Amino acid sequence: MIDILLALSGIVLLAPLLIICFVVTVLSSPGPALFRHKRVGYNGKHFDCLKFRTMVTDAPERLHRLLDTDPVAAAEWAASRKLRYDPRITAIGSLLRKSSLDELPQLFNVLKGDMSIVGPRPITDEELERYESCVGAYLACRPGITGLWQVSGRSSVTYGKRVACDTFYARNWSMALDIKIMIVTIPSLLASDSAF
């Protein structure tokens, strides 16, 4: 219930920003404003995770070509599932990612009950395999818009650290932990250049 109230409040308060992000995404590059990607949620249920589109429409092909031709990029991708210099990201998309504005549509995922305000990062089936013995902890929670990983270094931490953050959160959940994460989310976004 708290998640629903926070999501509704966020949508109302941030409506002008949601509209601006929608318009600049549409005007800056061809393709839809919203990107839907299948993620694994609570109890293994799949859902369409919403984001403002930050990549070009042929992103999968560009990633495949890059990883086939650049061993450094391939190693970085294998370690973190992220690329510091990602040729798929649009100019506006880079700004949206650094500010995490691309994730604002996930407020609608919270309204649907697919996500929570705070929780582990939403992941794909392929990423779930990397959780190994920690899969149960991940599946015991609804994924969150923000979480321990997001306030602990975001894209600058290894995937193993991300799994550790998600597992710690799931095994030590409390309202106090959620409140602490929410309190440090905004300052960590403003102070960090680790999102890419």
Provide DSSP, 152-168: TTGGGS-HHHHHHHHHH
* Position 182 in a domain: yes
Choice among 60-74, 137-151, 179-193 with the minimum mean pLDDT: 179-193
The closest of 26, 15, 74 to 53, measured between CA atoms, is 26
Note whether residue 117 is domain-resident. yes
In-domain check, residue 40:
yes
Let me know whether 36 and 113 are in one domain.
yes
What pLDDT is stored for residue 88 in this prediction?
A: 93
- Number of folded domains that form the chain: 2
Residue 170 CA from chain centroid, whole number: 17
pLDDT at residue 157, rounded to an integer: 76
Integer Cα distance of 162 and 174 in angstroms: 19
Pairing verdict, β 46-52 and 116-118: unpaired
Over residues 125-162, the pLDDT tens digits come to 999 998 999 999 999 999 999 999 888 876 677 888 88
Query: What is the C-alpha separation between 124 and 155, in angstroms, rounded?
Result: 16
- Looking at residue 158, its pLDDT comes to 82
Q: Is residue 180 part of a domain?
A: yes
Task: Tell me if residue 70 falls in helix, strand or coil.
Answer: coil
- Nearest of 76, 50, 51 to residue 63 by alpha carbon: 76
Same domain membership, residue 65 and residue 144: no
Same domain, 101 and 24: yes
Looking at the structure, do residues 131 and 178 belong to the same domain, yes or no? yes
In terms of domains, do 93 and 173 share one? yes
What confidence score (pLDDT) does residue 155 get?
Answer: 65
Tokens 């929608």: give the residue: 22
- If asked whether residues 110 and 33 sit together in one domain, one would say yes
41 and 132 part of one domain = yes
Average pLDDT value over all residues in the chain: 91
Looking at residues 99-113, what average pLDDT do you find? 96
Tell me what pLDDT residue 119 has. Answer: 97
Q: Looking at residue 1, what is its pLDDT? A: 82
- Report if residue 177 sits inside a domain: yes
Structure tokens given for 64: 């495949």
Q: Identify whether residues 80 and 38 lie together within a single domain.
A: no
Longest alpha-carbon distance in the chain: 49
- Domain presence at residue 38: yes
Q: What is the pLDDT of residue 159?
A: 83
158 with 80, same domain? no
Q: Which two tokens stand for residue 80?
A: 């973190």
Q: What percent of the chain has pLDDT over 70?
A: 95
Q: Is residue 196 part of a domain?
A: no
Q: Is 163 found in the same domain as 75?
A: no
Q: Is 33 helix (H, G, I), strand (E, B) or coil?
A: coil
Provide the domain limits for residue 140. Answer: 2-54+89-191
SS3 113: coil
Q: What would the pLDDT profile of 19-59 be if each residue is shown by its tens digit?
A: 999 999 999 999 999 999 999 999 999 999 999 999 999 99
pLDDT confidence of residue 82? 83
Does this model's pTM top 0.75? My answer is: yes
Q: Judge if 97 and 72 occupy the same domain.
A: no
Give the integer Cα–Cα distance in Å for 70 and 86.
12
